[in-house]
Structure 1
Amino acid sequence: MENDKKKVFNKVKHDLEVYRELLLILNNILKWEQNFFPGIIGGVLTLLFIILWWLDFSTLTLIALITIFVTVLDYGYPLISKFIFKAENWSGSQEKLYEQVIQDIVDVRLSICSAICSFFSSRSERSTFYLITVTAGSIALAWIGSTFNNLFLVYLTVLILAMYPGLKAKGIIKLVLNHINAVIGPYLKKIRPEKSAPAEKTD
């Protein structure tokens, strides 16, 4: 398992090496290295989705534009970065931070793959649980999709995903989870069935 994880780490590190400077900048922003970064993230995403709402693109057009943007970025950035970032300016501390960013990416990737595999393995191991989960989740998604604007839902999803690294890095998520656990923990203990004490032996 460790060898496989190391192989994935080395591959991802090699594949993203051309974007290493950009990744460090994004890492600083997403993890809120400056106090004003959350405002920048929220403001940029809000402005972007307001523009998309105003232009009112069809789904197919939006997918095509995103594909064009990603393709141009993937082709053009390596050429431009050579003039902006000099290889000789890359320091050991930056390399260490880059490896930490890659490790975070690998951990997220493996966690997602593990969650997907566990979910689908429950189809054969716990078929009733799988059926109830998929059915309830699909009904909930159908209701949410029919109640709220789809672009607004995408906006909320992207905003939450963009804010998550900063919330985690600042310990806010852990603080909220601890508070929730402190509130509902006593109630959960009360509803859990207590194990019956073993009967005492009589002579």
Structure 2
Amino acid sequence: MTAEQEKRVKELKRELECWREEVLALNSVLAWEKHWYPWLLIGISTTLFTFLWYLDMSVLSTVAVACLVVTAVDYLGPIARTSICARDSWSGAKERQLEDVCRALARTEHQVLSCWKSRQSIKAAWPHLYVVVEVIGLACLAYIGYTVNNMFLSYLLVTTALMLPGLKHSGFLCKLSSDVKTTFSSSIKMKKN
């Protein structure tokens, strides 16, 4: 990691100091450290979206309720943790786990920023190609949004986002990308012959 990324890791550790136990528990669930965690994530997502579908709230009401829940958790979380967890339960192993989580977050943040910079450089180098690709991509997204229920699309997006860390941690994404690359390269070789 670069010095800038190490600095970001230290900043993240400082920012997450109040929530370190919760961060480790959330990381454990998102990384699928137990075989039933993926099903738990899907169940939570399905229950949440079924509840939202049943209530049929407006967007403003949904945002307000979500902000209320976040505020309540932000206020009550540390209070509940001090009464449940012992102060001396934090160990060196947990500190290393927290640092690993912060490193992963810093890496992900760096990857997102580098993708954005790549997009900007493509925009500067090939503006016409950029516009064509953006227009086609956004038109496809608009068509999908028009034909498929918004609640279902949101459900798929949130569930996929919840599953991605576990898929990456288990190595499934690397295997899938290598299989796609192999298939793509072999199909190109077959076309050349």
Q: TM-score, normalised by structure 1?
A: 0.88
Distance between the aligned counterparts of 2:59 and 2:189, measured in 1? 48
Equivalent residue, structure 2, for 1:145: 145
Shift in CA distance, 49/89, structure 1 to aligned 2, threshold 3 Å: same
CA RMSD, 1 decimal: 1.8
* Paired AA for residue 78 in structure 2: P
Matched with 2:131 is 131
Counterpart position of 1:44: 44
**In terms of mean alpha carbon deviation, does 144-153 or 61-70 score higher?**
61-70
Write the distance in 1 (CA, Å) between the matches of 2:112 and 2:100: 18
Tell me which residue corresponds to 1:56.
56
Of stretches 151-160 and 129-138 in structure 1, the one that deviates more from structure 2 is: 129-138
What percentage of aligned pairs have identical amino acids?
A: 32
Aligned residue runs from structure 1 range 111-122, under 5 A: 111-122=111-122
Report SS of the residue matched to 2:101.
helix
What is the identity, as a one-letter code, of the residue corresponding to 2:61? T
Provide the C-alpha distance between the structure 2 equivalents of 1:8 and 1:169, rounded to a whole number of angstroms. 22
Cα distance in 1 for partners of 2:17, 2:85 equals 13
Q: 1:121 to 1:182 in 2, by over 3 A?
A: closer
Partner of 1:6: 6
Which amino acid counterpart does residue 143 of structure 1 have in structure 2? Y
Alignment of 1:24 with 2:33, yes or no, is no
Instruction: Write the distance in 1 (CA, Å) between the matches of 2:44 and 2:104.
Output: 24
- Structure 1 residues 2 and 176: alpha-carbon distance in aligned structure 2, compared to 1, 3 A threshold: closer
Structure 2 residues without counterparts, runs of 5 or longer: none
After superposition, the C-alpha distances for 1:105-129 in whole angstroms (9 at most, x for unaligned) are 1111121122122212322222122
In the alignment, structure 1 segments of 5+ residues that lack a partner are 195-203
Deviation at 1:44, TM superposition (A): 1.3
More helix, by proportion: 2
- Counterparts of 2:15 and 2:61, CA distance in 1: 29
Greater RCO, 1 or 2 (C-alpha within 8 Å, sep 6+): 2
Q: Which amino acid in the other structure matches residue 48 of structure 2?
A: L
Q: Which amino acid aligns with 2:47?
A: L
Select the structure of larger CA radius of gyration. 1
Q: Distance in 2 between matches of 1:13 and 1:104?
A: 12
Provide the rounded CA distance (Å) in 1 between the counterparts of 2:120 and 2:60.
30
Residue 175 of structure 2 is aligned to residue 175 of structure 1 = yes
Output the TM-score relative to the length of structure 2: 0.92
Offset of 1:59 from its aligned partner? 0.8
